[in-house]
Amino acid sequence: MKWTKKIDTVLPEASNTLFINGQWRKSRTGRTFAVDNPSTGERLFELADAGAEDAIDALDAASSSAEGWAASTPVERRNLLDNSYEAVMDNKKLFAELMTKEMGKTYQEALGEVDYGAGFLKWFAEEAMRSYGRTFHLPDGRKGLVTHDPVGPCYLVTPWNFPLAMATRKIGPALAAGDTMIVKPAGLTPLTTLAMVEVLRQAGVPDGVVNVITSEHSPEISDALFADGRLRKISFTGSTTVGKTLMKQAADQVLRTSMELGGNAPFLVFDDADIDQAVQGVMMAKFRNNGQACTSANRIFVQDGIADEFVNKLQRAVSALKVGDGMDPSTDIGPLINKKAVDRMERIVKDAVDAGADLLAGGHRSDLGKCFFQPTLLDHVPRECEVFREEIFGPVLPISRFSSDEEGMKAANNTIYGLAAYAYTRSIKRSEWVQGHAQAGVLAINSSVLSDASVPFGGVKQSGMGREGGSEGIYEYLTTKYTLLIP
């Protein structure tokens, strides 16, 4: 039956932002923190700032409800996720506006994220019915049985840049698998996730199955949870530096671990590419979410034969972008998440220009406010510059040129990261060669769109381990059990 109930309350009462055992409550610490609109500086909400005792309360709830939720039927899990999907879509505009105000992305992009994020609920509603086991005969004729069981209480840590989709991409498979969880949204953008949890509450999620902690003191939360032997899994999306720290902590308890970490995506444009299509692709892959995405095109490599034409067309496109408040329908890109991000953009652009790069567009702070930075295009960037070595996470587009295919691929792979990669070519043979040589967990050829609920997503090298989405996603939250059957 279609779920049609609107969210009665968009958010809980101020400071009551811990959702533990089915109830919204304050933190035991008495601390609070605030979330501001990066476009306007407006104070949006006051949140509970949880500590170690709150984390253990959440783990108590997740542990006590684990057996009951693991025993729920696939149909029950599917129905909960289907109802939640319908509720999110019924409140699409509400979610999009909340996302734009707390994170800064344009309202149109936020509407797209609602579709994308809700898709994980729909996809894993069906995956709840498809986590099949199998039976087989051993060589000596005995029968074996393989089944998949819920892994147990999970700690799900989400980033600030896609506050709905990154939550549903973890919550969806965990619920479908029969796991209970503690969700910690990023302190910069927790409001959309809180609204999502309110949807789950109204859709009938049992008490203790989904618990939420808001906090600006992440180490307090992780230290408390990792020291307790009842936690069985962590799934983290964020920086490689923080991911490594969490992996070390998780090792002490031998926790199941899923990590989606930093990226430094190359964007290869070969000399047989459709130039207009490639320009359109790089504009989408770079400036989506104002460049604040782990899949963002960070390093543009264009082959010599078409480089000048490509760069000229790209310069016109970048210069035409309008910066502004995400709620303004004429805005192409909104603010960065905070002033610290703007400071970094200014520094890495100066570093590249000082090293000899040509500044073709932007390169400076915007006068719209402290969180705004101009869309920036740099050509002839030395590859040793920070803008090429490290993830940018902003609207800065550096270009380097290459002669042979082998040189371009070697430069593209010359990074510790391996999350996403892009390539534009009209040649099937070249496409197959790129597919075989690109060191990335996800690859798009002649497209700037990589992710969907129905496909696996994750990185290689220092971009992480494990996969989210696709038929693979639910197995991150299941254990495999083999049983020998003797008649």
pLDDT at 3 over 50: no
Residues in CB range of 195: below 8 A, 6 or more apart: 7, 10, 11, 91, 94, 95, 98
Report residue 9 as tokens. 């309350």
Q: Determine the pLDDT at residue 9.
A: 59
Q: Which amino acid is at 481?
A: K
For the chain, what percent of residues have pLDDT higher than 90?
Answer: 95
**Catalytic site positions:** 260
Distance of CA 53 to CAs 23, 57, 58, 396, Å?
16, 6, 9, 42
pLDDT at 8 over 60: no
The predicted-structure confidence for 11-44, as pLDDT tens digits, reads as follows: 888 889 999 999 999 999 999 999 999 999 999 9
pLDDT at 2 over 80: no
Q: Determine the pLDDT at residue 10.
A: 66
The predicted-structure confidence for 49-107, as pLDDT tens digits, reads as follows: 999 999 999 999 999 999 999 999 999 999 999 999 999 999 999 999 999 999 999 99
Q: What is the mean pLDDT of residues 101-122?
A: 98
Looking at residue 296, the DSSP 8-state letter turns out to be S
Q: Which CATH architecture has domain 265-452?
A: 3-Layer(aba) Sandwich (3.40)
Q: Determine the pLDDT at residue 4.
A: 46
What is the pTM for the complete model shown? 0.96
Pairing of strands 256-260, 233-237: parallel
Q: Determine the pLDDT at residue 212.
A: 98
Q: Determine the pLDDT at residue 7.
A: 53
Which ranges in the chain are annotated with CATH 3.40.605.10? 18-261+463-485
The predicted-structure confidence for 185-209, as pLDDT tens digits, reads as follows: 999 999 999 999 999 999 999 999 9
One DSSP character per residue, 381-427 reads --TTSHHHHS---SSEEEEEEESSHHHHHHHHH-SSEESEEEEE-S-
One DSSP character per residue, 322-378 reads PB--TTSTT-SB---SSHHHHHHHHHHHHHHHHTT-EEEE--SB-TT-TT-B--EEE
Stated as kind and residue range, the H or E segment containing 177 is: helix 165-177
Which ranges in the chain are annotated with CATH 3.40.309.10? 265-452
The predicted-structure confidence for 353-387, as pLDDT tens digits, reads as follows: 999 999 999 999 999 999 999 999 999 999 999 99
Residue 373 pairs in a beta bridge with 365
Q: Determine the pLDDT at residue 485.
A: 86
- For the chain, the average pLDDT equals 96
Cα gap 235→261, rounded to integer Å: 11
The predicted-structure confidence for 231-266, as pLDDT tens digits, reads as follows: 999 999 999 999 999 999 999 999 999 999 999 999
Q: Which CATH architecture has domain 18-261+463-485?
A: 3-Layer(aba) Sandwich (3.40)
φ and ψ of 221, to 5 deg: -70, -50
Q: How many CA atoms lie within 13 A of 453 on its CB side?
A: 25
pLDDT at 484 over 90: yes
- Cα angle 78, 81, 87; round to 5: 140
pLDDT at 134 over 50: yes
**What b-and-e string marks burial along 95-111, b requiring 16 or more CB atoms within 10 Å of the CB?**
bbbbbbbbbbbbbebbb
